[in-house]
Structure 1
Amino acid sequence: MSRENLAFVVAAFAGVMLLFAIGLSRPNLFVEDHLMENLSAAGFAAGSLLALGAAFARRASPTGRERAILIATGGLSSILFLSEISFGARIFDIQMPRMSGGGEFDGGHDIVIVVFRKLRGAGPAGLFVAAIGGALLVTGAGALLYRFRQQARTTVERILRGAFEFRLILALGMLASAVTLDLIKSYKASILEEVLEFSASVVLILAVFACFRPKRPGARPEPDAGTKPGSLHALPADADR
């Protein structure tokens, strides 16, 4: 891991802990539909616009792979923004469907809650099926990693070395942790969930900003259509003599 990424993780962890401490002292600001959730929605909206703008910005000059990741990041941020505002239910005073066990189906994370409640309600048989399915997924993922271990190692090294990819993975980890905390009925877990969602939106924005850095001198840009081997522009200067 690069020093920059290590320092970024430490700073992100410190920020999360600071916001969590503030949330414990001022929990009214960290509940649903209040300040922290509104800031998270604004952060995801900004992240979506920045990611889609960077995907086609000349200044960012992203590679084909980076452009695809940026477009996917913009789409994910848009979904997260809509989830934070309950897909407009709070704004337009729309009654969202009720979920069995309590709560309303007003966000993408509620899919995980519904699945979890279904499995819990199914009793031992449901838990056994879930365990078998999880074991098969882990086994399949392990087999794929072993089969493509060289490519996986290269990908991991690139993520740990690059600021853009590393921050994206960190943001996804924060979001996954927030969804997990949503399954716990505790006001402390609820506060930490809101903190992680807001922190993920900030990390996504900082990930996009990393794309606007100048490319390293040793990095080779992808060839344009006019400079590919065999094109007229790729001919030597004396080719027309």
Structure 2
Amino acid sequence: MTLTPFYLILTIANIVFFTVLYLLVPPLRDALSREDQFMENLTTILFLETFFVGLYATLKLPNKQRRKLYLAIPIVGLLGFLSELSFGERIFYFEAPEINGVKIDAVHDFLSVIYISWYHMPNRNAVALAVALIFGTILFWNRRYFAFNNLQKIFQNFFPSRFVTAAVLFSGMGLIIDLEIVHHDFLFFLEELFEMNGGLALLFSAFAIQVERKGYFVRTQKQLAYSQNLVGVTSILK
């Protein structure tokens, strides 16, 4: 089984499994939805694995440009790992700083700061509309880059990109829930579930670097063998 189908099966299976577990086994709900519990610890492990696997695979890439590009994956994995640990606040017993009443002990807390600042801003709806129009205009003028054919080429030429996209989508949904616009216990579970799947997708992007590296090695070996055969045939003809 190739990497992409395996990822899809694993993702769908874990979402169904953990959701059913949360709904049908109430005693496990805290473990699946609270900080420093099973789900968050699993997310932490996934981010840490992403860092090590991604760093190893990236440094082994023969293509320097791709090496620089893919280095972002283990870096994000490391940031995710540290973020899940509150940057060591609970380990080293230091007090994280606050901005607008929000404790900054994770990367996504900056989004909460932005949301709170916007919420208390005069004419916030007008500001939101202006920002939406600006982004909409930018997307419109660059729409050719987001065409299906271009995205398909990106997914084909940069194998990890499909998993990075999934990681961004899952993490984005988790971030939106983390803003606590709506309060419900089930949403806390969904936040942890989405964050965990964001970590899982990022880990698969690290695996994809390894697959791409091996594919490049195989192609190089075939090209080398072809060149040697060509040289041999040329020598015989001479």
TM-score norm. by structure 1 comes to 0.76
1:192 aligned residue: 190
**CA distance in 2 between partners of 1:98 and 1:137 (Å):** 29
Q: Deviations over 1:3-23 (max 9, x none)?
A: 964664354133223223323
Q: Which moved more, 1:62-71 or 1:40-49?
A: 62-71
**Structure 1 residue 104: Cα displacement:** 2.5
Give the number of aligned pairs: 215
CA contact 2:3–2:208 (8 Å) conserved in 1: no
SS at match of 2:39: helix
For residues 1-241 of structure 1, the aligned pairs below 5 Å read 5=4, 8-24=7-23, 25=25, 26-30=28-32, 31-57=34-60, 61=61, 63-98=63-98, 100=100, 104-123=103-122, 125-146=123-144, 148=145, 153-159=149-155, 163-184=159-180, 185-213=183-211, 214-215=214-215
**CA distance in 1 between partners of 2:7 and 2:86 (Å):** 31
**CA distance in 2 between partners of 1:41 and 1:28 (Å):** 17
**CA distance in 2 between partners of 1:69 and 1:167 (Å):** 15
Give me the CA root mean square deviation. Answer: 3.0
CA contact 1:175–1:197 (8 Å) conserved in 2: yes
Distance 1:92 1:153, change over 3 A: same
**Structure 1 residue 91: Cα displacement:** 0.7
Distance 1:220 1:104, change over 3 A: same
TM-score norm. by structure 2 comes to 0.77
**Structure 1 residue 36: Cα displacement:** 1.5
CA contact 1:39–1:198 (8 Å) conserved in 2: yes
**CA distance in 2 between partners of 1:138 and 1:219 (Å):** 41
Q: Deviations over 1:5-59 (max 9, x none)?
A: 46643541332232233234311102012221122112111101111111112xx
Q: Deviations over 1:141-185 (max 9, x none)?
A: 221123x467x7334333168652211211121111111111232
For structure 2, which runs of at least 5 residues remain unmatched after alignment? 224-233
**CA distance in 1 between partners of 2:37 and 2:106 (Å):** 16
SS at match of 1:215: helix
Identity rate, percent: 20
For structure 1, which runs of at least 5 residues remain unmatched after alignment? 224-236
Higher helix share: 2
